[in-house]
């Protein structure tokens, strides 16, 4: 079955609102990585976060291994945040991706 | 400068033909990967290599064959192309195949007519 599940599948925000994206996994975890995929398709690494909390500007990632989840918080969203957010789980094999959260931020 | 180079950026092929997708990384990494993303499915793992050896394979079809002529190269040969093979193929690399940050190329968008 699906090892990595992301929610919500899509999200529409007004500029300035916050977003909370979830990644739940059903297996053990060696690493967790969050990516932003631009509308054109290229992938940008946001966080490599196997456990704990990390911050980068308006973004915060929290991974809780015991609860088998990782979250990505976007504060004060901007229209340029629009795109797809993907989480990738690595256990003993190559990283596997969730289906993504498609975020649309309206002006 | 892009550190993972994929060529070509766009590729159109006819059904039944054969194509090779090129990937070179200049990050000094030892592990390389291929992923596929089609309109109908999420980013899907295909192959991983470490020190030029196959480590993990999630692709059922033998029509997909990775080729590693050098440590920093992992090409993907696709034979007997089908319209369902149409997708964007992403190459990625990491320092090694343990828990390491993954870096992606910009992808090759393949269309099979």
Residue of B nearest to A4 (CA): B42
**Which of A89, A92, A73 is CA-nearest to residue A33?**
A89
pLDDT digits (tens, 9 = 90+) for A24-39: 998 877 789 999 998 8
pLDDT over 70, % of chain A: 98
Among the residue ranges A5-14, A76-85, B37-46, the one predicted with the least confidence is: B37-46
Distance CA A69, CA A13 (A): 23
Give the model's pLDDT for residue B99. Answer: 64
**Cis peptide bond N-terminal to B8, omega within 30:** yes
How many of the other CB atoms lie within 10 Å of CB of A33? Answer: 25
pLDDT digits (tens, 9 = 90+) for B39-78: 878 899 999 999 999 998 987 799 999 999 999 999 999 9
Count of CB pairs separated by less than 8 Å, A with B: 49
Q: Chain A residues with CB inside 8 Å of B88's CB?
A: 41
Q: Chain A residues with CB inside 8 Å of B56's CB?
A: 93-94
């Amino acid at each position: 079955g699906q090892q990595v599940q992301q929610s919500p599948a899509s999200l529409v925000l007004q500029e300035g609102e916050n977003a909370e994206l979830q990644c739940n996994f059903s297996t053990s975890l060696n690493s967790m990585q969050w990516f932003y995929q631009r509308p054109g398709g290229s992938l940008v690494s946001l966080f490599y976060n196997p456990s704990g909390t990390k911050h980068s500007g308006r973004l915060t990632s929290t991974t809780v291994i015991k609860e088998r989840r990782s979250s990505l918080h976007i504060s004060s969203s901007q229209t340029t945040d629009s795109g797809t957010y993907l989480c990738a789980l690595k256990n003993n094999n190559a990283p596997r991706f969730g289906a993504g959260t498609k975020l649309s931020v309206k002006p | 400068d892009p550190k993972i180079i994929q060529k070509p950026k766009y590729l159109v092929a006819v059904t039944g033909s054969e194509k090779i997708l090129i990937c070179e990384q200049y990050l000094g990494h030892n592990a390389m990967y291929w992923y596929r993303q089609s309109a109908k499915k999420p980013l899907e793992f295909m192959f991983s290599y470490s020190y030029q050896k196959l480590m993990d394979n999630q692709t059922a079809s033998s029509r997909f064959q990775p080729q590693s002529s050098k440590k920093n190269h992992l090409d993907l040969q696709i034979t007997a192309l089908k319209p369902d093979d149409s997708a964007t193929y992403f190459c990625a690399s990491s320092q090694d195949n343990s828990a390491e940050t993954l870096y992606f190329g910009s992808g090759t968008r393949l269309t099979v007519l």
